[in-house]
Amino acid sequence: MDASGTHASNKEYYNAFAERYEAQRGDNAPGGYHELIDELETDFVRRFATDRAVLEVGCGTGLILQRLSEFASDAQGVDLSPGMLEHARRRGLSVREASATELPFDDDSFDVTCSFKVLAHVPEIEVALREMARVTRPGGHVIAEFYNPNSLRGLVKRLGPSGRIAEGADEGDVYTRFDSPRAVRGLVPRGYRIVAARGVRITIPTAAVMRVPALRGVFRRAEWALCDSPLNVFGGFWIAAMHQPSG
């Protein structure tokens, strides 16, 4: 499938997903798996984006963007799916419909550009990363999350069945790629270098274990303890902060 076909397929997939995307997220599942993942991702961005202008690429329904708006001077988002964006707009967030490979902003518009659980579904990932770098000011940061094959999550996704996301649709209906931390170093936009990394979902074998009260606290503590340790390279989601020197 060519890029335009994948673009249309992804849009259809996420429009279908939008109706039940928050069924196990946000206020519907406080303290659960997705809240922990959102906390770990947002906390990493906070290091670089406090009182800065931030763009989230692939903001979905705005769960993370809303968190970013609590410490950023300006927080904006783009997403491919009108269905997802409807929810984000209800939250009062500043969002626009756009593709990760064609961002509707001028060069050097933001201090930090971030993306979570999106780049893994973009075949032209180098184009998306270049676009993120283009709209990021010199001295700023591009924060990108990748699906890591060298992880428990990667193993489960490769060997297990595709998860259902809506009536008549499952995870197998969307393009998905896995990039190891080593492979990510070859994707870094020109002029940038990786200055920090975080691993998310290092210990959690499946999201279901976080629904067990006796295990939830154990895994929560383990994830926070290990996310910035050398074991971050085994996170199911591997986040790289890329910096472009201003000089």
pLDDT for res 97: 97
Give this prediction's pTM: 0.87
Dihedral (Cα; 105, 111, 115, 121), 10-degree rounding: 40
What per-residue confidence (pLDDT) applies to 26?
A: 58
What gap in Å lies between CA 42 and CA 25, rounded to an integer?
15
pLDDT score recorded for residue 25 = 61
Model pLDDT for residues 174-229, shown as the tens digit of each residue: 789 999 999 999 999 999 999 999 999 999 998 889 989 999 999 999 999 999 99
pLDDT at 2: 46
CATH fold of 3-243: Rossmann fold (3.40.50)
Cα distances (angstroms) measured from residue 48 to each of 7, 97, 103, 181: 30, 25, 21, 20
Asked if residue 137 lies in contact with residue 111, where contact means CB atoms within 8 angstroms, the answer is yes
pLDDT value of position 106: 98
- Residue 170's pLDDT is 56
List CB contacts of 21: < 8 A, sequence separation 6 or more: 60, 61, 84, 87
- Bridge partners of 141, per DSSP, are 112, 243
Mean pLDDT of the chain: 88
Q: What is the pLDDT of residue 69?
A: 98
**Which amino acid does the sequence have at 144?**
A
pLDDT in tens, the chain (247 residues): 445 555 545 666 555 555 555 555 655 556 789 999 999 999 999 999 999 999 999 999 999 999 999 999 999 999 999 999 999 999 999 999 999 999 999 999 999 999 999 999 999 999 999 999 999 999 999 999 999 999 999 988 877 665 555 555 556 667 899 999 999 999 999 999 999 999 999 999 988 899 899 999 999 999 999 999 999 999 999 999 999 887 6
